[in-house]
């Protein structure tokens, strides 16, 4: 069996630095999923959020000979070298990734909040602002020629967003990233030692994760990876994007996780998927068994609990927004902990409330039985 080498694809998600002293209120019950149509043609003009993102990156792009190309619906700007061919294919792939996220994770509809910012055309909120509500800012996805240009882009981000300056300095040696605020993703096209590489998969995976973060905020690690891998697999029928990996990649790993899960859970007989196993998947490291579990659990939810999944992710984000706050020295304000991850027991509570009790045991049975599995009577039907 052949083996192919893949360099580590290290990612990071920057925490929201916003602070406030308002009373903490948590009620996810007002949010329900509703599908959104994806425009088939490019808009006549860029909207205000897209214009602010374009204005941020235009000087950098001109200096380094890159071009900015919006997707058909204007939600994402591609930042790619001017000489790169097949621009239309890259735009099409990214648009397909966004459409796939729309299909499996439709936007929740909320009651209008008095605290929501007013998006006036003559006073647009800057790109990456902490004041922008979820599902409104523009995503920027860069495909960089070489590490030095990726480092230069991070320098620009560090200057514009001081809270992440230290991270951008330390991250310049990485071959890619995904950030929450601002909504920025990147991969580097030419990293020494990288033999296993498919830019189509990289763009699709990152676009899928960015779209999920834009809509639902920062999520547990397994959720982001699971969404990205499912979008990648559904569109390209393969997986080539392996975040944080620095080991050999077997040829079967590009499409063989379903069989791996079946063998693993048949050996475990009646054992469910353990919430702790999902919650303990960490940023910065890669294990094949964890990757398959994240991909498979998200695939089970997308297929059998698609109507409940958006509400689950919104609750994850809302609980993180409450539990991840750190009081400042004055005791009156707060900041978000950059490294906070939602504990396993909180994730389990959200599952029980928003999906169904015992759903992770069902996921394990689905891994074992495949298409022969039947949802237990009395559980919520698929959308």
Which sequence spans correspond to the domains of the chain?
A: 10-372
284 or 86: which carries more pLDDT confidence? 86
What secondary structure does DSSP assign to 138-186, as a single string?
A: PEEEEEESSHHHHHHHHHHHHHH-GGGHHHHHHGGGSSEEEETTTTEEE
CA distance 359 to 250: 31
Phi/psi for 5 (5° steps) reads: -95, 135
Q: Residue 119 — very low, low, confident or very high, per pLDDT cuts 50/70/90? A: very low
Which of 68-77, 234-243, 353-362 has the least mean pLDDT? 234-243
Q: What is the pLDDT of residues 133-153, one digit of tens each?
A: 899 999 999 999 999 999 999
Q: Which CATH architecture has domain 10-372?
A: 3-Layer(aba) Sandwich (3.40)
Give the residue-averaged pLDDT of 107-121. Answer: 47
Q: Residue 246 — very low, low, confident or very high, per pLDDT cuts 50/70/90? A: low
Query: Partners of 185 in the beta sheet?
Result: 141, 178
Phi/psi for 289 (5° steps) reads: -65, -35
Q: What is the pLDDT of residues 28-65, one digit of tens each?
A: 333 333 334 333 334 446 778 899 999 999 999 999 99
* R_g of the chain computed on alpha carbons: 20
What are the CA-CA distances from residue 383 to residues 84, 229, 294, 362 (Å)? 41, 22, 22, 17
Exposed/middle/buried for residue 229 (C-beta within 10 Å: 0-12, 13-18, 19+): buried
Q: What is the pLDDT of residues 183-220, one digit of tens each?
A: 999 988 866 555 566 889 999 999 999 999 999 999 99
Give the H/E segment covering residue 265: helix 257-267
Strands (E) located in 71-156: 76-81, 108-109, 139-144
23 or 170: which carries more pLDDT confidence? 170
Averaged confidence pLDDT in the chain = 81
pTM (2 d.p.)? 0.82
């Amino acid at each position: 069996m052949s083996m192919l080498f893949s360099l580590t694809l290290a990612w990071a998600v920057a925490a929201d630095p916003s602070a406030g002293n308002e009373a903490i209120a948590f009620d996810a019950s007002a949010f329900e999923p509703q599908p959104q149509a994806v425009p088939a043609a490019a808009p006549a003009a860029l909207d205000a959020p897209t214009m602010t993102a374009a204005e941020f990156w235009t000087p950098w792009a001109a200096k380094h000979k890159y071009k900015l190309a919006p997707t058909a619906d204007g939600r994402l700007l591609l930042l790619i070298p001017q000489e790169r061919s097949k621009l239309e294919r890259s735009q099409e792939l990214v648009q397909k990734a966004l459409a796939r996220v729309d299909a499996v994770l439709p936007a929740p509809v909320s009651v209008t909040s008095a605290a929501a910012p007013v998006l006036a055309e003559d006073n647009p909120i800057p790109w990456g602002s902490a004041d922008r509500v979820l599902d409104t800012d523009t995503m920027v996805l860069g495909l960089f020629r070489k590490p030095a240009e990726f480092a230069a882009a991070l320098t620009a981000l560090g200057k514009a967003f001081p809270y992440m300056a230290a991270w951008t300095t330390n991250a310049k040696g990485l071959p890619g990233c995904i950030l929450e605020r601002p909504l920025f993703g990147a991969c580097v096209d030419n990293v020494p030692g990288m033999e296993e590489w498919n830019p189509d998969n990289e763009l699709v995976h990152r676009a899928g994760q960015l779209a999920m973060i834009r809509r639902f905020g920062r999520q547990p690690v397994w959720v982001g990876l699971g969404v990205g891998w499912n979008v990648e697999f559904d569109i390209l029928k393969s997986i080539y994007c392996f975040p944080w990996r620095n080991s050999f990649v077997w040829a079967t790993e590009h499409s063989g996780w379903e069989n791996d899960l079946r063998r693993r859970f048949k050996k475990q007989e009646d054992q469910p998927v353990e919430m702790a196993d999902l919650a303990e998947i960490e940023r910065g490291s890669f294990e094949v068994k964890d990757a398959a579990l994240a991909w498979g659990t998200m695939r089970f939810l997308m297929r059998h609990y698609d109507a409940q999944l958006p509400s689950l992710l919104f609750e994850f984000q809302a609980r993180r927004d409450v539990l991840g706050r750190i009081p400042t020295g004055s005791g009156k304000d707060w900041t978000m902990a950059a490294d906070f991850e939602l504990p396993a027991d909180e994730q389990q509570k959200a599952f029980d409330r928003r999906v169904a009790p015992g759903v992770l045991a069902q996921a394990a049975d689905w891994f074992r039985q495949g298409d022969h599995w039947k949802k237990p009577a009395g559980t919520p039907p698929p959308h």
